[in-house]
Amino acid sequence: MKRQVMIATALVFACFFAAMYVAQAGNVETSEVVFGSVVQDPEPAPAGLADKIRALSSSNALERASAACQIGEMGKRAAQAIPMLIQVLGDDTQINAEIDCGERNKWRGKHSDQPTTPGEMAALALASIGEPSVEPVIAAMKNDSSIVRRNAVWSLGIIHDPRTVAAVITASRDSDPRVRENAVWGMGLKQDKSVVEPLIAALADGEWKVREKGAWSLGLQGDSRSVEPLTNALRDQNAKVREQVAWALGLKGNKDAVEPLTNALHDAEWRVREKAAWALGLKGDNRAVDPLIAALKDENVQVREQAAWALGLRGDHRSVDALSAAMKDQSKEVRKKAAWALGLILMRDPKAADKAGDLDINLKNPDRDVDNDNKSGRDDDRVGGVRVPNIDVPFNVSIPIIVDIDIPVPVAIPRINVSPRVDLTSDNAVPSKIKSKQKEKHDDALLR
């Protein structure tokens, strides 16, 4: 009897495991196959995906581009659209109308009315779909059309997948400069040290836009191997390249970059001088102080602003006199940054307190004078009151929002509120030596 019970129990377990095996096998058989690989438990395709895939073949270019953008909004769930999106990569029809990216419109954002093409929108969609797109897009890099390769390598630059690195590096040697430009830009977004040497090589490219993107990408990579090549690139014949190089050296450059950046304060292009001042502010080297003091008298307002900001970070008492004079600058922004810089220095350097006591400094109201700024030449792309290097993103798109990955944001200037946050006229904030000297001045004035 006991033996029969044991046999029955064994049969029950055998049937149970057999049923589980059959059910799992059925799931595998019915799972979706994408480009030769089996995807377990795929997400259901979004409603309307089939209609949008059909719209990619529309005779109307605006409809094709809008369909691609809407597919991109669906992310990985739109993997079924990959083959058709690959076919659209070569569509270079110019569109100057606003693209309909759906209700959320999270991709294009403020760029929704900027010129684009269906091929660019297909590249954005493939980047948004992400990992399932990698192998098909890599295969597209062998296409004879430079338009296809250009759009494809842009997608590979955005997608956060180690398989994309080798393909992007290879594309940096493409015969077409637009392909190389997008490849070099994409390498800046890769967290892989193998891209550094190809990026250094890009600094010698015959096309200035490739060199500019190379400097930008090297700045994001932050590798010490790039310091010497970047310092040499400060002599590039193109001002936009030099500007981007100065920015990159600010992020990573070591003490060897101080002298070349100091020389760049005399560059003929004011944007280069501005970025050089910014970069020197981030260097822990006192050799930068005197050149930055001289830059407070630069003919360009934005260079003077940046020099004052940089001197505040340096915190050297030698700059107190010059910053005090800068508080009477005709530009409101220069005065604000000079006050901010003096506030930092007075709190950090005792020698500055001795010197400042003999100066007529009103840190509480640096903007008491009439503002004579000439705002006609000011740029709009400013962060914390300081202009951000204008690196052109290959497509008109809000990059950090497209794909759910960590992408370094190409912003050069830290978000610093340049207005003084400390009331340096309060009893607790002003060093005692300054207060006593200022009180003596006040008493003498009353006696007179």
Q: Please tell me what DSSP assigns to residue 95.
A: B
Of 271 and 349, the structure prediction assigns the larger pLDDT to: 271
Rounded-to-integer distance, Cα 241 and Cα 185, Å:
14
**What value does the mean pLDDT take over residues 404-412?**
33
Q: Between vectors from CA 145 to CA 144 and to CA 147, what angle results, nearest 5°?
A: 150
Local confidence band at 141 (pLDDT 50, 70, 90 cut-offs):
very high
**Residue 113 confidence class, pLDDT cut points 50, 70, 90:** low
pLDDT bucket at 423, cuts 50 / 70 / 90: very low
Using the predicted structure, report yes or no on whether residue 26 has a pLDDT greater than 90.
no
**The model's pTM:** 0.73
Task: Please tell me the predicted confidence (pLDDT) of residue 430.
Answer: 40
Q: Is 168 helix (H, G, I), strand (E, B) or coil?
A: helix
pLDDT level of residue 178 (50, 70, 90 thresholds): very high
* Structure-token pair, residue 78: 């739109």
Residue 47's pLDDT band, with cuts at 50, 70 and 90, is confident
Cα–Cα distances (Å) from 262 to 125, 258, 301, in that order, read 44, 6, 18
Q: Report all structural domains of the chain as residue ranges with CATH numbers, in order of start.
A: 34-187 (1.25.10.10), 192-268 (1.25.10.10), 285-373 (1.25.10.10)
pLDDT at 356 over 80: no
| pLDDT given at position 380 | 41
pLDDT at 98: 87
Instruction: Locate 103 and state its tokens.
Output: 């209700």
Residue 28: its pLDDT value, please? 35
pLDDT at 255: 85
Give the whole-angstrom CA distance, residue 60 versus residue 130: 27
If one compares 250 and 317, the residue with the highest pLDDT of the two is: 250
Mean pLDDT of 176-189: 97
Q: Across residues 175-183, what is the average pLDDT?
A: 97
Kindly indicate the confidence band of residue 247, based on its pLDDT and cuts at 50, 70 and 90: very high
* CA distances from residue 369 to 95, 121, 438 in whole angstroms, order as listed: 49, 51, 21
Q: Which of 80, 68, 76 is nearest to 120 (CA)?
A: 68
116 forms beta bridges with 95
Structure tokens given for 373: 């700024």
Average pLDDT of span 264-291: 93
Selection from 207, 146, 205, 200 nearest residue 176 by Cα: 146
Among 235-249, 303-317, 348-362, the range scoring the smallest mean pLDDT is 348-362
**Is residue 66 predicted with pLDDT exceeding 70?**
yes
Axis-axis angle for helices 301-314, 332-348 (nearest 10): 10
Q: What is the pLDDT of the chain when averaged over all its residues?
A: 77
Does residue 156 carry a pLDDT above 70? yes
Q: Tell me which range, 95-104, 232-241, 391-400, 418-427, is most confidently predicted by mean pLDDT.
A: 232-241
Give, for 38, the enclosing helix (H) or strand (E).
Answer: strand 37-39
Kindly report, residue by residue over 165-175, the tens digit of the pLDDT: 999 999 999 99
The answer to whether residues 275 and 243 touch, using CB atoms and an 8 Å cutoff, is yes
pLDDT in tens, 323-355: 999 999 999 999 999 999 988 888 776 665 555
pLDDT score recorded for residue 114:
79
Kindly state the DSSP code that residue 222 receives in the 8-state scheme.
Answer: T
- pLDDT at residue 312 greater than cutoff 80: yes
Q: What is residue 363's predicted lDDT score, i.e. its pLDDT?
A: 52
Structure tokens at 421: 């946050």
- pLDDT exceeds 70 at position 147: yes
Lowest mean pLDDT among 121-135, 207-221, 247-261, 290-304: 247-261
Q: What is the pLDDT of residue 350?
A: 64
pLDDT in the model for residue 180 = 98
Tokens (6 digits) for 301:
């307002």
Three-state SS at 34: strand
pLDDT at 231: 95
> Is residue 310 within 8 Å of 338, Cβ to Cβ?
no
Q: How many CB atoms neighbour CB 266 within 10 A?
A: 13
> Is the Cα torsion angle 363, 368, 369, 373 positive or negative in sign?
positive
Q: Is the pLDDT of residue 236 over 90?
A: yes
Q: What is the DSSP letter of 137?
A: H
Pick the residue with more confidence: 429 or 400? 429
Each residue of 362-383: pLDDT tens digit?
555 555 544 454 444 444 444 4
**Residue-wise DSSP of 105-124:** -TTTGGGTTS-B-HHHHHHH
Predicted local distance difference test score (pLDDT) of residue 314: 86
Comparing 134-143, 210-219, 382-391, the range with the smallest average pLDDT is: 382-391
Residue 51 in this model has a pLDDT that exceeds 90: yes
DSSP, collapsed to helix, strand or coil, labels residue 394 as coil
